[in-house]
Structure 1
């Protein structure tokens, strides 16, 4: 079967084989993904999956290329945009990340990825208290991407230790900041180390859902 939203989409059996391979070995997964992309070059899900594998291997130019392509082909594929923004933050700087995340910051208050993007944007512009409020609200309402929750919790705990890239500046347009939960100010490692430790960061739940 194929997903009707993607008329030139990869078939489910191939996607299932790719998902299984991603749990075992990145090299095997990349071989399957390369073959699938050659047959279905316009399927944004394949670009997202391959970009995630590349990112986990540290092949960042290839990861940027695939995730950017996924965002262009399917702007509604919010997981690809969030991951691309985080790569931008870690490797190119806050300004690029904020630009990528901007459409996510316009999502409704019940969209966890929207709150995560709002929170990270505020965090990298030097507003940790406001950032924590959005991250906490997103964490409490996160149903679609439970694999992100430990990562976001670590950001909340380390919010006062993360140094903004560039000159901190307020980011207008988010509306009222939600009430923030009290969180201890713990020291921790860099955001880049979180990325390195989290292979296929967004894809644990994504891979198990049949609506993609």
Structure 2
């Protein structure tokens, strides 16, 4: 039995609404972690915050759980049934070089943000993998290459836009809702579907990196 609200949801969103059996369903459910895949009752590939809100409203109406995927790097447990919101198409970036901030939509990947910020001599407190989603990385705390000097990525968050479980779009800052803001920065998600985030950038003109590899046969040394 398919998702009863699929047609109404298709009329409500600009992005794609897919159910099992649709030609693009398997491809859109796939993420970086290939060992297991989400198998939702309905997948909403969102084009923007309004699509996310429509997906959450549908889940609430039909009493279904909601899962979110940007790149699929942090897949803990694959969704079986329910509504999956894919944010990968939400890839907008705005840099304010004077304020040293970046606004990123929920599907932005680290490599794209690094490239945009570098044009201004700035950088996010990113990790080492360019394909990881900026928002999901930051929601998990964000311990990266620049962490020893600049701290956690979550500490650089200025504002978070999200849709909470009641279907309300929220704009959250340390002043507007300190408890929710605190929980979102490092809590790993679960408090709503984040649609965008403003983060502070740091001045970085260049970075040198590498690794030391030792012969395993000399482990005793």
Q: Assess same fold via TM > 0.5.
A: no
**Bigger radius of gyration:** 2
TM-score for both structures, normalised by structure 1:
0.32
TM-score, normalising length from structure 2? 0.31
- Greater helix share, 1 or 2? 1
More strand by share: 2
